[in-house]
Structure 1
Amino acid sequence: MGSSPVKGPSPSYRSSWAPGRKTSMPQWNEYSDGERIKILRGKEIRQSDLAEMTGLSLPTIQQAEQGRRLTLRTLMKIAVALGVDTSVVLGQQAPRRSMDRADRTTLRDLSQTVHDTAAGILPDAIDDVPSVAELHETAAACWDVYWQGAYMEAAALARPLLVQAAARLREQSAAGRGEMHGILADAFRLAAYVANLTSSRDLAYAAIGHAQHAASLAADDLRQALVLSGRAWVYLRDARLSDALTFAERAATDIEPKFSTATVGELVAYGSHINFAAVVASRLNNRDRAEDYLSQSHAAGARMGREHRAHGTVFGPVSATTQAVGINVALGETGKALALISEIKPTHEGALSTAARNRYAMDKALAQADARMWDASLETLETALLADPKWARHQALPSVIVQRVTRGSTARLRRVSKLVGTAPPPVSGFLPATARTAL
């Protein structure tokens, strides 16, 4: 088996390729195996570097890229070195959108940790297993990184958090196991969120499933609601809108508090959950339900007075208003969205997490594009992309916005298109609101 050549389809024509770009270029499976290896290697890794990384000889790497010989052993070593599944090298699935080799390796490692931890497979020796209090602090720090929009850093931090939480759970007395299951649920949920944002669909489903199991063992109603909402988000990104709405509604109603006695933490959880239910309802174009949930979201935010962070999420009056912009855009209420935008000041935006502020910028640019405020839309989008290029790498919405802008400064449109990594749209280009369904 080790010496049997592994063959894939030959290309019908040649051209450069970049994940996620919508052009007339060949599909990923139309390249040869050798061409795919060369593309995945990129300019930053030389053939000699790949040889060193794999432990293979330089002639072996050269022959693999020339399509002359690719044994199963060579295929597996190259795939591991480049941080992809063998199916990607063989053209059976395309690489993740906008990811370099380091990103792919980080997600591959996270996937292994999620599956191993869920199966109870831990390193033989873990030095200095943190205390429960230390793990609470670590989990909070991991969520801070996530809400800064540093998703790959959050993925890297989720791995030791999972291992350490599982190790502490193994040593914990019966009285404290519920609390540890709660921390483990948070760690799995963090992994699911990162996977969902990077379109690692299988990992997102697996991680949120493990989070649900851990939350049930924790016997914590709030954590179970958080996981339900997380599952709804996975469904939303997978275009399972009806299922997403079912879980989003259930997550919110399960923890609906009495406003007169609710704690800040309870309001954060409820407000963010009911707001997300409004998001899902808007994607289904269920106007009445979306507006009802928005009303409840605004009421929760007003009760809080300002933004607060709790349970791995952030919510307050500014979050309620900024997220209402995107909801109104999805419902086709461009005028309402622009009216809300006019009420939001830079000082208000400063109260948001980095990720929430970036997302609001996308919704704002989308509203401006729908109102044919071409240059304003491009300016909003360009400012956001330049301010946080690492966050922007994992977003699909910028390319949607670029395709909606059919007029405006040609120079700026070209600059923004280059930042997004897509070709400028034709003058007649336009994408309907339904293009946001699975974003």
Structure 2
Amino acid sequence: MQWSDYSNGERIKILRGKEMSQNELAHRTGLSLPTVRAAEQNRRLSLPTLLKLAHALAVDTSVVLGQQAPRRAMGQDDRATLRYISSSVHDTAAGFIPGDRVPVDPGELAGATLKAWSLYWAGEYQELGAILGPLMLDASVTAQSLDGDAGHPVLGCLSDAYQIAACVANLFGARDLAYSAIGHAHSTALAAGDPLRAARVDSARSWVYLRDGRLDRSMEVAEAAANEIEPRYSDQGAERLTVYGNLLNHCAVTAARREDTVRAGDYLSQLHAVGARLGRERDFHGARFGPHTATTQAVGINVTLGQPGKALTLIESVRPGQLESLADAARNRYQLDVAMAQADAKLYDKSLDTLERVLRDAPQWARHQALPTVIVQKIGSASTTRLRRVSKLIGVPAVGADGFTPATVKTAL
């Protein structure tokens, strides 16, 4: 069924989900329990009731009325997290800071920023959402209290907070918020006088364009930023190499999405060269890159290019110790690419084993990924008990490949 096919009452019940009882919804809205029950039974829904329910369920009224569908795979907690991040980004950027907010120690802000990046890469989005708002407010009011260069490190923290907000919004499919937050991140990085941080923001901006299907713009942004900070061969500075490698990775991924095999191959060669110069995995302003990232990313790029044989050969060269050096999100994404390569090679049992492991190990992260659904649909002709179990984990029917097209893969990868 399409979202618009449900009644208003059915939509309210679906949005409430299993994690919230009718009693709890009544408590959150200030409505009586009979009023909530009547709304879910599609018997009575006044405008004041509609507004209170939509606010408590963290959705627009248009979602309750069926005029637009809720974002994919988002539960009540996810919607609340996204709404809080959105209000924090817009209020901070507009200068709406509570009058009782006071400056804090810049060192504390730096520590909170590192914590936010750690939570992002671990896929702990609800805890991340809880600290992003205060981080933006504290960084903003603290930056205003400092003069000249003294405020630059604090502006850097604020830029990172905006960037993380953009990345979460992009992952959750809130594209308008992603564009807005990444714009604030870039202007704040420039105000901080940090060209490497601004280049890192451009890497995230390229990803926003990529997920929005704007491949030409994605490539343009990533290539321009990479050219701007390209290190000389004698330059072994780890920070510049890390950001540069991160940008080259976006170039390679975008070239693969555009089915430009030659260009993707050129960027893959450069990825491996930069990874070798770094020698190990590095992290700078949330940009993570190194030799193991180069190898695992090459697997996904070859999958996108429709070259599962090359992907499987690379997979054979990856050792468990190399994966341990990656962030949780990067490691999980690599495993999805492995599952996709195995499915493309018709190694269906291995693909399902790999996919099920990711879904069970990282359920909060995995539910915001489209690739698991693509893999299940691709394996659909091999309808087994395991397939049905995996399908249940991601909430899709275990059906055959009817309606499945290569474009589906391009969108999900």
Same fold (TM over 0.5): yes
The alpha-carbon deviation at position 304 of structure 1 amounts to 1.2
Hey, what does 1:207 align to over in structure 2? 181
The answer to whether the Cα contact below 8 Å between 2:300 and 2:337 also exists between their aligned partners in 1 is yes
For residues 289 and 188 of structure 2, the distance between their equivalents in structure 1, rounded to whole angstroms, comes to 25
CA change 1:66–1:384 in 2 (3 A) is: closer
For residues 59 and 145 of structure 1, the distance between their equivalents in structure 2, rounded to whole angstroms, comes to 40
Hey, what does 2:196 align to over in structure 1? 222
For residues 116 and 227 of structure 2, the distance between their equivalents in structure 1, rounded to whole angstroms, comes to 27
Aligned with 1:46 (options 21, 25, 36): 21
Aligned with 2:360 (options 386, 410, 415): 386
Hey, what does 1:106 align to over in structure 2? 81
The answer to whether the Cα contact below 8 Å between 1:241 and 1:280 also exists between their aligned partners in 2 is yes
For residues 404 and 39 of structure 2, the distance between their equivalents in structure 1, rounded to whole angstroms, comes to 42
The alpha-carbon deviation at position 216 of structure 1 amounts to 2.3
Q: How does 1:420-431 map to 2 (within 5 A)?
A: 420-426=394-400, 430-431=404-405
2:207 equivalent to 1:233? yes
Hey, what does 2:341 align to over in structure 1? 367
The answer to whether the Cα contact below 8 Å between 1:193 and 1:204 also exists between their aligned partners in 2 is yes
The answer to whether the Cα contact below 8 Å between 2:378 and 2:400 also exists between their aligned partners in 1 is no
For residues 228 and 261 of structure 1, the distance between their equivalents in structure 2, rounded to whole angstroms, comes to 21
The DSSP-based 3-state class of the residue aligned with 2:283 is: strand
For residues 178 and 404 of structure 1, the distance between their equivalents in structure 2, rounded to whole angstroms, comes to 50
The alpha-carbon deviation at position 407 of structure 1 amounts to 5.2
2:206 equivalent to 1:248? no
1:228-269 Cα offsets, whole Å, 9 max, x none, are 121111111111111111111112111111232221111111
The alpha-carbon deviation at position 133 of structure 1 amounts to 2.2
2:47 equivalent to 1:67? no
2:242 equivalent to 1:272? no
The DSSP-based 3-state class of the residue aligned with 1:309 is: strand
Hey, what does 1:32 align to over in structure 2? 7
* Residue type of the alignment partner of 1:28: W
* Residue type of the alignment partner of 2:159: A
Q: How does 1:180-199 map to 2 (within 5 A)?
A: 180-199=154-173
The alpha-carbon deviation at position 210 of structure 1 amounts to 1.2
* Residue type of the alignment partner of 1:324: A
The answer to whether the Cα contact below 8 Å between 1:378 and 1:412 also exists between their aligned partners in 2 is yes
For residues 394 and 412 of structure 2, the distance between their equivalents in structure 1, rounded to whole angstroms, comes to 18
For residues 44 and 278 of structure 1, the distance between their equivalents in structure 2, rounded to whole angstroms, comes to 41
The answer to whether the Cα contact below 8 Å between 1:307 and 1:317 also exists between their aligned partners in 2 is yes
2:289 equivalent to 1:350? no
The DSSP-based 3-state class of the residue aligned with 2:48 is: helix
Aligned with 1:81 (options 39, 56, 69): 56
For residues 434 and 260 of structure 1, the distance between their equivalents in structure 2, rounded to whole angstroms, comes to 43
The answer to whether the Cα contact below 8 Å between 1:154 and 1:194 also exists between their aligned partners in 2 is no
The DSSP-based 3-state class of the residue aligned with 1:314 is: strand
CA change 1:407–1:43 in 2 (3 A) is: closer
Hey, what does 1:319 align to over in structure 2? 293
The alpha-carbon deviation at position 429 of structure 1 amounts to 7.1
For residues 300 and 172 of structure 1, the distance between their equivalents in structure 2, rounded to whole angstroms, comes to 37
The DSSP-based 3-state class of the residue aligned with 1:172 is: coil
For residues 18 and 380 of structure 2, the distance between their equivalents in structure 1, rounded to whole angstroms, comes to 34
Which deviates more from structure 2 when the two are superposed, residues 33-42 or residues 357-366? 33-42
Hey, what does 2:33 align to over in structure 1? 58
The alpha-carbon deviation at position 28 of structure 1 amounts to 1.0
Hey, what does 1:9 align to over in structure 2? none
For residues 57 and 75 of structure 1, the distance between their equivalents in structure 2, rounded to whole angstroms, comes to 13
The answer to whether the Cα contact below 8 Å between 2:374 and 2:408 also exists between their aligned partners in 1 is no
For residues 408 and 305 of structure 2, the distance between their equivalents in structure 1, rounded to whole angstroms, comes to 10
Which deviates more from structure 2 when the two are superposed, residues 231-240 or residues 81-90? 81-90
Unaligned runs of 5+ in 2: none
CA change 1:70–1:433 in 2 (3 A) is: closer
The alpha-carbon deviation at position 190 of structure 1 amounts to 0.4
For residues 233 and 109 of structure 1, the distance between their equivalents in structure 2, rounded to whole angstroms, comes to 22
Hey, what does 1:292 align to over in structure 2? 266
The DSSP-based 3-state class of the residue aligned with 2:82 is: helix
1:249-300 Cα offsets, whole Å, 9 max, x none, are 1121111112322211111111111011100110001111111111111001
CA change 1:428–1:173 in 2 (3 A) is: closer
The alpha-carbon deviation at position 326 of structure 1 amounts to 0.6
RMSD: 1.7
2:101 equivalent to 1:126? yes
The DSSP-based 3-state class of the residue aligned with 2:288 is: strand
Hey, what does 2:388 align to over in structure 1? 414
Q: 1 or 2, which has the higher helix percentage? A: 2
CA change 1:71–1:45 in 2 (3 A) is: same
The DSSP-based 3-state class of the residue aligned with 2:259 is: coil
Per the normalisation by structure 2, the TM-score is: 0.95
For residues 98 and 381 of structure 2, the distance between their equivalents in structure 1, rounded to whole angstroms, comes to 57
The alpha-carbon deviation at position 189 of structure 1 amounts to 0.3
Percent identity at matched positions?
Answer: 54
The answer to whether the Cα contact below 8 Å between 2:132 and 2:161 also exists between their aligned partners in 1 is yes
* Residue type of the alignment partner of 1:84: V
Aligned with 1:97 (options 72, 95, 108): 72
For residues 437 and 389 of structure 1, the distance between their equivalents in structure 2, rounded to whole angstroms, comes to 21
CA change 1:225–1:74 in 2 (3 A) is: same
* Residue type of the alignment partner of 2:207: W
Which deviates more from structure 2 when the two are superposed, residues 262-271 or residues 185-194? 262-271
Unaligned runs of 5+ in 1: 1-25
